[in-house]
Amino acid sequence: MKTYFLNRSVYKIALVFFAGSTALSSIAQTKNSDAKMNAYVSSLMSKMTLDEKIGQLNLVTGGQSITGSTLNKNIAEKIKKGEIGGIFGVWGTNYIQKAQEAAVKESRLHIPLIFGLDVIHGHRTVFPIPLGMSASWDMGMIEHSARIAATEATGEGINWVFSPMVDIARDPRWGRISEGSGEDPWLGSQIAKAMVRGYQGNDMTKDDAVMACVKHFALYGGAEAGREYNTVDMSLNRMYQDYLPPYKAAVDAGAGSFMSSFNTINGVPATANRWLLTDLLRKQWGFKGFVVSDYTAVSELQAHGLGDLPEVSALALKAGLDMDMVSEGFLNTLKKSLKEGKVTQAEIDLACRRVLEAKYKLGLFANPFKSISPDVESKVELTDAHRKFAREMAEHSFVLLKNQNQVLPLKKSGTIALIGPLADNHSEMLGTWVVAGNPAKSVSVIDGMRNVAGNDVKFLYARGSNITDDSLLNARAWFFGMRQERDSRPAQEMIDEAVETAKKADVVVAVVGESANMSGESSSRSDISIPESQRELLKALAKTGKPIVMVLFNGRPLTLPWEEKHMNAILDVWAPGTEAGNAIADVLFGNYNPSGKLTATFPISVGQIPIYYAHKNTGRPFDGKGPAKFKSDYIDISNDPLYPFGYGLSYTTFSYGDVKLNKTKLKGNQTVTATVTVTNTGKYAGEEVVQLYISDPVASISRAVKELKGFKKISLQPGEHKEVSFNISTDDLKFWNNSLHYDWEPGQFIVQIGANSSDTHSASVQWLK
């Protein structure tokens, strides 16, 4: 057999030619596809009446899932009249089949509906809350979770999902921090792209693809005081540097739609903000999709003080909003506003075109019923493969916060006391914003422990407390008919039973924390500690002297200074999803070694909020050494968080060597490679997220003390070491200056590599232009 070797230079030329030819071919195909779409939509619009065009801008809720305080009426009649462009909050082939048939068979022009749903972290198979998934630092797994969600959602006729939520959040009092990816714009951008790819795939006309809807545009996570729907007010520099990047990343990934946020930006509500929806999103970033309002956000412009419903509807349209969710302000006022000259025909046509283009991109004109199949529906939901992946995703999301004296992993022998209101519970396993998931099909912690432990472990159980005995919290944290699973016995009686149970065990596993509805939309908390009823239970258990493993359910960073001091081990499991109990047991018993790392800082006290690692240095920084007076600090508490960004332990230990640079002086567009040796110094195989940060100590504006610029997740056997390298270019040095120019400046840069944002090794480089 002859072997042929291609000359390297010839290979490079061939590769460049091939890449260039492929790019040109792709551009040509895109232009051809766009031309066909434009021709089709233009032809359709030429036949549409004004009322039908306005009807396409109307998004209504079918009422199957209630995610707001207002419902739409007379939906069937409006569909036939062409007064509805889409329906959300419904799922299942039976309902969607009938609604789509009404649109394409009984409306004049047979225009199909688009069907949307809040598919936030899974559909029927529920994955950990997004904040939890982000703690995996695994883009492949995160993308696959979105792919599975798309497969299940399309199986029930859904073709548009209100996800991903990419809002940067640095205030854990805000309930919706649970739905995002934490505090860092670089990591948030990577996750935004992964989610969009997972939902949309490479062809949205495929039966198992959905259109992503990126939310909430913009800056929603910057709500003052962490209070839901509150004012957002920040400098343009902070906006561009810290809060906007994940939205831009989603645009670059090809996201098909955006959702406007409830808050104001520079004094103008996002839903009526032309600078935001048109100048920034479309003109600067080149977004080609459509923008929908959030739930009744158009009518809520009245409460913002912008005018009555006709006025605010006109303002929203002119700003660049294409679809009105629930308010029906567009439907009921735009025709009159056109006659009065408050809006133009061109503005209505443009919004209508964008909605129709979305339906074209989804292939709905070619086949309005493309993914509506009862056979498919039954085959893709909660499959064994999906549940298996949900279990793995949950395991990778858990963060080990403490493990004193290696109390974990647990032995698969002896007696274990499972105690706490979340230990034998199905309803709280799935987390917030779960629309179609069935809590009854989730795995409880006690069931998971029994599934994994084998026959040599004896389990004892006591409830110990209710999730909360606070009457106000109990009334407001459960809504729309939901109820806390409560035990009617007196609190002390439950605690006494738990203590007696603990005394009989070798180790106590206390399963405590927040209920699913203590985080999420409209679930801001001023006190982010564990509810008092559970704290009292933990205090009583601690007095027994038994080793206590705290399994923490939470939708946000919590203040845990007492727990950090008194618990022997703490495993943060967020809200793990359908396979909660099995995944928790896998980690507790050591079938999987936890590798999660925090993506949002845990404060010691709410008085430190907002707290995040990429803060400015100030002119009087306090480094924890020497006199503290007249420094930027507190007189009653440390500046440091309880657990920093990027933090997470393992059952094994890792050591980091010094950071080595292949060069220390650079010029122009050269690159530098930073390398560190990481060694597994413990007894277990484990995974480590090696994190790269860069500091820019001297610049034209005050910079963050450090910024995440990369990471690599590695796996090491006991005693094994690996060299981990990062290639750093000038793109990693760029920032937005006060002129909103994105560039880098010459000077010294400090390269930091380590296990978390507070534990790094560093080396310095001089970089000239």
Integer Cα distance of 680 and 335 in angstroms: 68
Q: Are 662 and 672 in contact, with CB atoms under 8 Å apart?
A: yes
- Which positions are catalytic? 294
Omega of the bond prior to 130 within 30 degrees of 0, cis? no
Element holding 338 (H helix, E strand): helix 329-339
Alpha helices in 156-202 (DSSP H): 185-200
SS3 state at 660: strand
Q: Given the structure tokens 């259109």, which residue do they identify?
A: 211
Q: Are 577 and 126 in contact, with CB atoms under 8 Å apart?
A: yes
Residues 6+ apart with CB under 8 A from 359: 111, 112, 114, 365
Integer Cα distance of 144 and 311 in angstroms: 44
SS3 state at 80: helix
**Residue 424: closest CA among 478, 501, 361, 363:** 501
Burial of 24 per CB tally in 10 Å (0-12, 13-18, 19+): exposed
Radius of gyration for the alpha carbons in the chain, expressed in angstroms and rounded: 27
Integer Cα distance of 609 and 649 in angstroms: 24
Pull the structure tokens for residue 532.
């008092």
Integer Cα distance of 419 and 509 in angstroms: 6
Looking at the DSSP assignment, which residues form a beta bridge with residue 459? 416
SS3 state at 665: strand
Residue 752 is which amino acid? Q
Integer Cα distance of 82 and 49 in angstroms: 10
SS3 state at 214: strand
SS3 state at 191: helix
**Residue 322: closest CA among 301, 298, 303, 306:** 298
